[in-house]
Chains A and B, each alone.
Chain A
Amino acid sequence: MKRLILEQSTRSGSLAVMEEGRSLLSRAWTEDRFHTQQMFGVLAEVLAVEVARLETLDSFGVGLGPGSYSGMRMALTAVRGLALPSEREVYGVSSAEALAWDEFQRTSADRVMVLGDARRERCWRVGYERGNGLPVRCTEWELVPQVDCFSGVPPGARWVSPDWERLAPQIGAAASRAAVDWADAVRIPTAEAVGGLIEARQRVGVASDPLEPLYLHPAVTVAPRY
């Protein structure tokens, strides 16, 4: 089964065409503010390549975040639009789970904590344990104050984050106290990792996550001023 995957939950967007867990083609780009431009430009270029022609694609995959709202929405809307006319399958997974899955492939860690910037001086975090080929979520999705982002987690977990650049000034001291080695903790979810996780999940019959971006905040509302 050949699948096109988009991941854009961070400023570093990526796209991959994969078949049976093997990457046939991949592209990456970095966005500054809006995500619409580069992603669609890359998409148009890739779909013109023989190996990625639309009629040869069986399904689509997408990283659902958490992360950049605009990025997640663009990526999800794009794959759903590509899949709609021929009713192709769209399979979505959490980008944090993809990060954890990738970490379990690369290292011997038994537990991975994924940490991200939730803005407003808070972080989101979630933990996974090494399972039988798939990450097993072992914590709830949590929103925690930045100063407490490492507390309450048993030692020994491997911490990774796609948002280290933004978080470093605020949580660097806390990281030192928790003995978290940030030099080795910066990870960006990639389309290939998302594709690899989808492949692994489908192999054991796990269904797609609900096709909606992972919002950890309710919508921010401000009362109208009259």
Chain B
Amino acid sequence: MIVLGIETSCDETSAALVRAGREVLSQVIFSQVALHRPYGGVVPEIASRNHVEKIMPVISEARAQAGLDWDRIDRIAVTSGPGLASALMIGVAAAKSLSLRLQRPLVAINHIEAHLYSAFLDPAAPDPAAACPLLVLIVSGGHTCLVRMSKPGVYRLIGQTIDDAAGEAFDKGANLLGLGYPGGPAIDRAAQNGNTQAIRFPRGLTRRPHHHDPTHDLLCLSFSGLKTSLLYHLKDHPLVPGDSRLADLAASYQEAIVDSLVRRTDDALRDEPYLAVVGGVSLNRRLREQMTALAARRRVRLLMAPPTFCADNAAMIAGLAGSPAFAKQPERLPMDLDVDPSLELNFNLSSATLT
């Protein structure tokens, strides 16, 4: 089965063709990062305008790169949420019109679940069913959560951020440090020769009652206090141009984010044979280093998506829609499909093993 995937949930316009859920035949991503950089974050209206402009050339190029005729496409898959409403609706409109034109089924995909699936786009990754039970850290600009997958498609929420996502914490920190946008790569670069212990920033770790399961606590993360701590530190110790403390500040700030993520993942690990770390923030070098160390210490196999599939991309959308293990069924009434900016993963407690 060959699936055309379409992704426009935020500031990347992407299309990909994937065979049988794992073989990426082509992928095209138009990143709008440069357009949003002057504003220090994603501007929804700019994102939507550019999706309208780029979506058809991107789809056309993905099809051409795969070298396939249109009639070889078996399904159209599209991100229906979560994300920016005005951005999501462009991808959904494109998918609906192609579904009508090609007379192919339309599949709605949850963006968070697709990030989770991205770990299986690595050709070396096991079959999703064989990797279960699996603990997944989903860490991106919009989402930070820990999920246990007991079998493909059956999830239990183990922990999540109670305020900012880790990617937001990087963006906000980079802004305060004058490092520009996007913050993740900027802080990663600035921190390269810095001392991670130079300043002790707070680790926002807490527990809260599980909203799906009152008998268990959620392992929560919090990054808003960290950002405030950096803000006050800079008020007391302002940086000057060319300040040699920048690398230490960036490294210490990054360490606080990474340490929180690693500690919470460590807390959440039970007897899972596999640990996956997915999402745009999984590109962070310090996080990769520390997660690799954690996996070795806890004797679990670490799954990380190849870099091309870490940030928002359409291959993960097409892959999930075409994966036999996840068996995403086409929508019965595809023209009724609407965007859902607040879509959550479907956490199925009854199927999950409580630990």
**Residues of A at under 8 Å CB distance from B?**
34, 36-37, 40-41, 43-44, 47, 54, 69-70, 73-74, 76-82, 84-85, 212-213, 215, 219-221, 223-224, 226
Contacts and interface: CB of A to CB of B under 8 A. Distances in A.
Contacts of A47: 100
Given A221-B43, A221-B46, A78 B336 contact: no
Nearest to B42: A224
A36 B89 CA distance: 7
14 contacts: A36-B89, A40-B335, A43-B335, A47-B100, A73-B93, A77-B55, A77-B56, A80-B55, A81-B93, A81-B98, A82-B100, A84-B101, A85-B70, A224-B41
Given A80-B97, A82-B100, A224-B175, A219 B49 contact: yes
What 9 pairs between A and B have smallest CB-CB spacing? A81-B97, A219-B45, A77-B93, A85-B70, A40-B335, A224-B41, A78-B97, A219-B46, A80-B56
Contacts, number: 103
B28 to A, nearest CB: 14
B86 A81 contact: no
Nearest to B50: A219
B232 interface: no
B35 to A, nearest CB: 10
B101 A85 contact: yes
A70 B90 CA distance: 9
A74 B55 CA distance: 12
A202 B116 CA distance: 50
B125 interface: no
Contacts of B338: 34, 36-37
B48 interface: yes
A77 B40 contact: no
Nearest to B227: A226
A54 B60 CA distance: 19
- Tell me what chain B mostly uses at the interface: helix, strand, loop, or mixed: helix
Contacts of B227: 226
Contacts of A80: 55-56, 94, 97
A41 B336 contact: yes
A68 B338 CA distance: 18
Given A69-B86, A219-B43, A77 B52 contact: yes
B234 to A, nearest CB: 11
Contacts of B89: 34, 36, 70, 73-74
Nearest to B53: A212
A220 B86 CA distance: 13
A36 B49 contact: no
B335 to A, nearest CB: 4
Contact of A226 (B59, B60, B172, B336): B172
Contacts of A40: 93, 96-97, 100, 335
Given A70-B86, A226-B175, A76 B70 contact: no
Interface string B140-177: 00000000000000000000000000000001100110
Contacts of B56: 77, 80-81, 84
A226 B92 contact: no
A224 B40 contact: yes
B13 to A, nearest CB: 12
Contact of B60 (A43, A74, A84, A215): A84
Contacts of A43: 97, 100, 335
Given A77-B52, A81-B98, 7 more contacts: A40-B96, A41-B335, A73-B48, A74-B93, A81-B94, A81-B96, A84-B59
A214 B89 CA distance: 18
A36 B337 CA distance: 8
A213 B176 CA distance: 36
B339 A36 contact: yes
Interface string B111-136: 00000000000000000000000000
B226 interface: no
Nearest to A48: B100
Given A69-B86, A212-B52, A223-B40, A36 B92 contact: yes
B102 interface: yes
A13 to B, nearest CB: 13
Contacts of B43: 219, 221
A37 B336 contact: yes
A213 B101 CA distance: 22
